[in-house]
Amino acid sequence: MAETEIGMSTDNIKGLVLALSSSLFIGASFIVKKKGLKKAGASGLRAGAGGYTYLCEPLWWIGMITMIAGEIANFAAYAFAPAILVTPLGALSIIISAALAHAILQEKLHIFGILGCALCVVGSTTIVLHAPQEREIESVKEVWDLATEPAFLLYAAIVITAAVVIIIRVIPHYGQTHVMVYISICSLMGSLSVMSVKALGIALKLTFSGMNQLLYPQTWAFTLIVLACVITQINYLNKALDTFNAAVVSPIYYVMFTSLTILASVIMFKDWDGKNASQIVTEICGFVTILSGTFLLHETKDMVAGSSQSSSLRLPKHEEEDEGLDPEGIPLRQVDTLRSK
């Protein structure tokens, strides 16, 4: 170990560059995809209303390709640098997304919303910086054994049940007015997809090192789980982006996704085994910081700079359209009567 050496190794520098590139691509993809969703919604049924016209919109596909490129760069970064270096940099995608939303989409965040985003980033960074080292895995079958232990099976059952209940019972009533509805589904399914992606990463790493894991059915089972979870995430993330402010969707999605992924990892890989009380308390404090940031972001998302009004920004979408408000139904954007005409 070269922990006392000054500077970074070549591999760490490669990982750092890949992680930074990943954040740039993913942060930009939120904005490009939303531009595509708005353009598609102008000529057909919006994604937020159950439409899929965005699939014919080139701009949406550019955003999708950009997001995929970012995820590939992030995946590659873990091959060169430790997770303690790569994972915190994922928070930069929030800053990039918010900055681009301000510059391109003219979406505004109240100063307290910015503070909420900062708290979310600090809390998430605190957790990942104190995360334990990953255990050594020698076969994808070992990961499958971890995934089929009672504790993780219970977690997976709760996640799937919650997602189904939200889709069937909650979305019809609150999907268009509460940003947490769509993002909850994305985050819940995302925590399962990350565990499966990690299993696939381990399988590929072992395969490239000469231990072929493609012969095991568990590898293909994890592949199917990834596909199912990712398709679900993409579908409801599109609905969230089409219905709400991208500057809000991005940080909340990051916070929930990160928190649930860490919880899933703690259950499946037993990350807290062998850790002392100080380390665990530090991670809990990081989680509380995340909750504080999320609360602050939600409580101030309807505030307009220099004004205390909020109720006028929470009108149902059809009322917004009748009153001449922005038909996008974006809670953070100012009403037309407050803009210069």
One-character DSSP codes across 203-261? HHHHHHTT---TTSHHHHHHHHHHHHHHHHHHHHHHHHHHHS-HHHHHHHHHHHHHHHH
Residue-wise pLDDT tens digits, 138-170: 888 998 999 999 999 999 999 999 999 999 999
Residue-wise pLDDT tens digits, 222-272: 999 989 998 999 899 889 988 888 767 877 887 788 778 778 878 887 867
Whether residue 170 is contained in a domain is answered as: yes
Residue-wise pLDDT tens digits, 299-324: 665 554 444 444 333 333 444 434 33
Whether residue 235 is contained in a domain is answered as: yes
CA distance linking residue 248 with residue 261, whole number of Å = 20
CB-CB contact of 248 with 279 (8 Å): no
Whether residue 198 is contained in a domain is answered as: yes
H or E element that contains 27: helix 10-41
Return the pLDDT at 157.
97
Report the pLDDT averaged over residues 209-226: 91
Whether residue 227 is contained in a domain is answered as: yes
Residue-wise pLDDT tens digits, 18-65: 888 988 898 888 888 888 878 777 776 666 666 677 777 788 889 889
Res. 100 pLDDT band, cuts 50 70 90: confident
For the chain, the domain total comes to 1
Tokens read off for 287: 């989680």
Place of tokens 């000529």: 43
Place of tokens 């504080």: 292
Return the pLDDT at 125.
75
Helix spans in 42-86 (H): 58-80, 83-86
Return the pLDDT at 183.
94
Whether residue 3 is contained in a domain is answered as: no
Whether residue 49 is contained in a domain is answered as: no
CB-CB contact of 95 with 27 (8 Å): yes
The torsion of the CA quartet 304, 308, 250, 268, rounded to 10 degrees, works out to 170
CA distance linking residue 54 with residue 46, whole number of Å = 8
Whether residue 194 is contained in a domain is answered as: yes
CB-CB contact of 291 with 260 (8 Å): no
Whether residue 12 is contained in a domain is answered as: no
Lowest mean pLDDT among 98-112, 189-203, 237-251, 279-293: 98-112
Mean pLDDT of the residues in the chain: 75
The angle, 0 to 180 degrees and rounded to 10, between the axes of the packed helices 10-41 and 92-100 is 40
Domain assignment of residue 154, given as a range = 134-273
Return the pLDDT at 141.
93
Number of H helices, E strands in the chain: 13, 0
